[in-house]
A = this chain, B = another copy of it.
Amino acid sequence: MQVATLDPRLNVKIVGGLSQLCPPDVMRGEEVQIAGFLRQRPDFNGLLLLPGTHSKHVWIKDQQVQSFATHMTGEVFAILKQHSILRHSVGGDTEDQAAFADGVRAGASGQGLAQLFSIRAMGLVSKNTPDAAQSRLSGLLIGAELAQVPQGTSVVLIGAGKLTDLYLQATEITGQHAEALDGADLVLAGLTQLNFMRQ
Distance between A49 CB and nearest chain B CB, rounded to angstroms: 13
Kindly supply a per-residue 1/0 record for chain A positions 176-191, scoring 1 wherever the CB is within 8 Å of any chain B CB and 0 otherwise: 0000000000000000
Q: Are B114 and A148 in contact (CB under 8 A)?
A: yes
| Chain B residues with CB below 8 A from A80, complex form | 76, 79
Q: Which of A8-16, A23-31, A93-101, A162-170 contacts B (4 or more CB under 8 A)?
A: A23-31
Point out the residues of chain B lying under 8 angstroms from A19, CB to CB.
Answer: 124-125
Within 8 A of B (CB), among A85-109: 85
Contacts of A76 in B (CB 8 A): 80, 84, 113, 116
Given known contacts A79-B80, A79-B84, A25 and B113 CB-to-CB distance under 8 angstroms: no
Residues in B with CB closer than 8 Å to A23 are 115, 118, 121
Chain B neighbourhood of A84, CB < 8 A: 72, 75-76, 79
Q: List 11 A-B contacts (CB under 8 A).
A: A21-B125, A23-B115, A24-B122, A24-B125, A25-B121, A26-B125, A54-B85, A76-B116, A79-B79, A113-B141, A113-B144
